[in-house]
Amino acid sequence: MRRQSRPGAALFMSTAIKTYQATSQDRDRGWFLVDAEGKTLGRLATQIADVLRGKRKPTYTPHVDVGDFVIVVNAEKVVVTGNKREAKRYWRHSGYPGGIRYRTLGEMLERRPEEVLRKAVKGMLPRNRLARRQITKLKVYAGPDHPHQAQKPEQLEIKSR
């Protein structure tokens, strides 16, 4: 006995819309400039992570790096709420017994303010090979100057919610 198909099923199969998949050849990368002065650290980091991953583009594909480059200036003037400057700690371990050390957020902002923002953004990216490539597109500078004038970066508007 032969099974009857629905009327119009062949029409549906021939007009199916294919899902767009970005490839490394057709990606379009831009350069964006962010001024971190007066911005909250966590809110700034989430929005930068979205730009690095390409989630603000209609061509976003989770397994392809379609994100843009981000230049952050004035990283030393980033703001944190509450008593995080004294309470938040960045841990590191030398690998030897008793070799665990930490620095508070305040100490890190004095010594290496670029690293504070880089670690915050890295924590908001997935833990895989693609994210390790995406974090290399983040350029952070403590002061207002940066060496990327030739790329003609556009100003990126960060929402403060």
Per DSSP, 52 falls in state H
pLDDT at 159: 84
Burial class (CB in 10 A: 0-12, 13-18, 19+), 85: middle
Q: Tens digits of per-residue pLDDT, 67-97?
A: 999 999 999 999 999 999 999 999 999 999 9
Give, in order, the Cα–Cα distances in Å from 122 to each of 52, 55, 85: 10, 15, 19
- In angstroms, the CA 71 to CA 75 distance is 10
Q: Tens digits of per-residue pLDDT, 123-152?
A: 999 999 999 999 999 999 999 999 999 999
pLDDT at 18: 85
Confidence of residue 8 (pLDDT cuts 50, 70, 90): low
pLDDT at 109: 96
Nearest to 92 by CA among 77, 107, 102, 81: 102
Burial class (CB in 10 A: 0-12, 13-18, 19+), 34: buried
Report whether 70 contacts 138 (CB < 8 A).
yes
Confidence of residue 3 (pLDDT cuts 50, 70, 90): low
Q: What share of the chain is helix, strand, coil (3-state, %, to 5)?
A: 35, 15, 50
Q: Tens digits of per-residue pLDDT, 16-38?
A: 788 888 888 888 999 999 999 99
- In angstroms, the CA 21 to CA 7 distance is 31
